[in-house]
Amino acid sequence: MKLLVIGSGGREHALVWKLAQSPHVTQMWCAPGNAGIAQERLAKNSSAVECVNLGAEDLPGLLAFAQGKKADFTVVGPDNPLALGIVDLFQSHGLRIWGVNRQAAQFESSKVFSQKFMEKYGIPTAAAGTFSEAGPAKAFCATLGGKCVVKADGLALGKGVLICASQAEAEKAVDEIMVGKAFGAAGANVVIQEFLEGTEVSLHALCDGKTAKIFPTSQDHKRALDGDLGLNTGGMGTYSPTPFLNDAQLVDVAKKVLDPFMRGCVAEGIDYRGLLYPGVMLTRSGPKILEFNARFGDPETQVYLTRMENDLLELLAACVCGSLGSLELKWSPLASVCVVMASGGYPGNYAKGRPILGLDAAAKLSHTKVFHAGTALKDGQIVTSGGRVLGVTALGRDLKAARAAAYAAVDEIRFDGAQYRRDIAAKAL
């Protein structure tokens, strides 16, 4: 099979690496890919994965490429092309593609849509209101004593969520989003949730329109600095499994969330085929959903796919053709830890083009895989080209061993200004 993967981050490198192991794959392209993706080879015939200079949001360009190359299957990594309707577009031209369609992508592209859906179908979530005007929004914040989270409805590069500790802060947040239009049209409507205390975990489930299959647990580290300090980022590191939810509790959460989710989709005529990634807060009164993402997490994918024992292509194909119910997800009992190495200054301004040294030494370590995110090849040298640069991922017999192995690999790698957290998975030990 000839495969096209869309995206360029660490998640996409993990997807490409895992899909390249499938005996069904004879040729693979990645648009636009990165320097690490370009080094991957297919298990079937050792041919190289080819990076194609097309942006993930260039829908007409991607369609023309897939048609021209007669790609048999396309896999979409990031949220933007999904929200833009790439799945609908490819399908309308008779192409097979994995990812949610535009209607289903609303679970991520509209927080108002998600919040209303959760309330309608009894999915446990924060007490919340949705608003299109600042006055009533502020009045609702007051009913929560100002301790709330104000969220712009639309996609805002992960920045549209403001956590408030007082009514004054909440009013400022509402004004910023709704009056000052800090996130443009994405902030025309807002969701305001009560502030929930607890431990946050990431869940992933593959869905085929009827059946949802849950992955083991994982946990991300969203803040830039050790001890969960500093600015919110796309994610500075992950590990799986997390001890904060045992197997029985995971089954229980899956029942409370995935059953009503799939039922609600069927009732609303939403054909959800792809990945569902609920962000969950484990509170004293049980698990509550903070948000839905409609794609694989980054860097959750890096720890999940290093543990996955299935042929990923078979699972993704089963999502598309509605046969997921007949497959069983299989996971390594080993633990996985991913430490993100970022450019100095991320998530603010950072330099690009810094040479990355030590990748060969790290590649020699067993049970270790260095996934590339913001990297590029310049004059034969791999250099930094983004905020999150690498996802250094290792397996171990338990989290302690996996963590030690991941940091041993990090110690081999150097680039000017490299910034990473020293405490990934530490809370689990």
Residues of this chain that interact with ligand GLY (CB under 6 A) are 220, 234-235, 293, 297-298, 300
What SS3 class is residue 335? strand
| Integer Cα distance of 48 and 150 in angstroms | 46
Shortest distance, position 375 Cβ to ligand AMP, whole Å: 26
Q: Does 224 bind ligand AMP (CB under 6 A)?
A: no
Q: Does 149 bind ligand AMP (CB under 6 A)?
A: yes
| Integer Cα distance of 160 and 289 in angstroms | 17
Shortest distance, position 311 Cβ to ligand AMP, whole Å: 31
Q: Which one among 12, 40, 208, 291 touches ligand AMP, defined by CB under 6 A? A: 291
Partner whose footprint covers residue 126, from ligand AMP, ligand GLY, none (CB < 5 to 8 Å by kind): ligand AMP
Report whether 57 contacts 78 (CB < 8 A): no
Of the pair 146, 287, the CB lying nearest ligand GLY is at 287
Shortest distance, position 83 Cβ to ligand GLY, whole Å: 14
Q: What are phi and psi of 424, to 5 degrees?
A: -65, 130
Residue type, 235: G
Of the pair 18, 151, the CB lying nearest ligand AMP is at 151
Answer positive or negative: Cα dihedral of 179, 181, 183, 189: positive
Partner whose footprint covers residue 298, from ligand GLY, ligand AMP, none (CB < 5 to 8 Å by kind): ligand GLY
Q: Is the peptide bond before 287 cis (omega within 30 degrees of 0)?
A: no
Report the length, in residues, of the chain. 429
Partner whose footprint covers residue 151, from ligand AMP, ligand GLY, none (CB < 5 to 8 Å by kind): ligand AMP
* Secondary-structure breakdown of the chain: helix, strand, coil percentages, each rounded to the nearest 5: 35, 30, 35
Q: Does 200 bind ligand AMP (CB under 6 A)?
A: yes
Shortest distance, position 274 Cβ to ligand AMP, whole Å: 18
Q: Does 419 bind ligand AMP (CB under 6 A)?
A: no
Partner whose footprint covers residue 40, from ligand GLY, ligand AMP, none (CB < 5 to 8 Å by kind): none
Shortest distance, position 141 Cβ to ligand GLY, whole Å: 25
Site for ligand AMP in 76-95 (CB under 6 A): none
Q: What does the CA dihedral 236, 341, 303, 200 come to, rounded to 10 degrees?
A: -10
Give the list of residues 6+ apart from residue 258 with CB closer than 8 angstroms, or none: 205, 212, 214, 276
Q: How many beta carbons lie within 10 A of that of residue 331, not counting itself?
A: 15
Shortest distance, position 347 Cβ to ligand AMP, whole Å: 13
Binding segment toward ligand AMP, per CB under 6 A, in 15-23, 192-200, 240-248, 302-310: 192-200
Crossing angle for the helix pair 102-109 and 111-120, nearest 10 degrees? 100
Report whether 354 contacts 374 (CB < 8 A): no
For ligand AMP, the binding residues (CB under 6 A) are: 126, 149, 151, 161, 163, 193, 195-196, 200, 222, 279, 290-291
